[in-house]
Amino acid sequence: MFLTLLSASPIIALAWAVALIVSLTVHEFSHALVGKWRGDTTAEDMGRLTLNPLAHLDIFGTLMLLVVGFGWAKPVPFDPRRLANPLFDGAVIAMAGPFANMVMAVLAGVAFRELGKAGMLATTSALPAFLIFVVLVNMLLLFFNLIPVPPLDGSKVLDAGLEQAGAYKARVLLEQYGPRILLVLVVLSLVSPLNVFVVVQAPATFACDQLSGVSCLGLLGTYIGL
């Protein structure tokens, strides 16, 4: 996506890159922060309790984002042995990232609406596009990470539920095959016309439209066409 945007409008490409880096950084920082709140300083000891993007961005994952539009940041670790209730606290730590993304999306949506009402969003500037990117990127991160497949955040919640239900075999299978399933889905989405992540894109786009009060894709299309 970045390369496509770069050829159409370098300033919009920069807005997308900044929105993505900030969103990923806040997502990972939130994991580290809540981990510390729950009694585990593993992430802090590794220098991850920071809003410095360099501590969270993975070089190869970032390059993948720029080239093919799909990538990742460095996962924030936690040590279940340091948690009072490993399954529950682990789920809380996992959900901290998506929750932070939701907060960022809401704040950016409110800012877009209020600045628009005040007449401060000139279509000749990149600010409207940047705010829409912040909303859209964060909603995409939110819904993607809610997928209950390892190593995504939603798997920690499912793992806790399976533990409570005594489904130990299902937990083992999920941990063993989950990452492979996710990889297959990602490859399919990249090399085939099959949109396997419509369950992420559709609600994220809808939420962006509702939070901003405009058609997010329509507005971005207008900017790219400038």
What is the pLDDT at residue 175? 85
Q: How confident is the model at residue 10 (pLDDT cuts 50, 70, 90)?
A: confident
Which residues form the domain of 118?
Answer: 2-224
28 is catalytic: yes
What is the pLDDT at residue 225? 65
What is the pLDDT at residue 33? 98
Catalytic residue from among 28, 44, 114, 163: 28
pLDDT per position as a tens digit, 59-76? 888 888 877 777 889 999
Q: How confident is the model at residue 146 (pLDDT cuts 50, 70, 90)?
A: very high
Question: How many independent structural domains does the chain possess?
Answer: 1
CB 19 within 8 A of CB 39: no
The 8 Å CB, 24+ separation contacts for 72-78 are 73/24, 73/25, 73/27, 73/28, 74/28, 74/48, 75/28, 75/151, 76/28, 76/31, 76/32, 76/35, 76/43, 76/48, 77/42, 77/43, 77/46, 77/48, 78/31, 78/35, 78/40, 78/42, 78/43
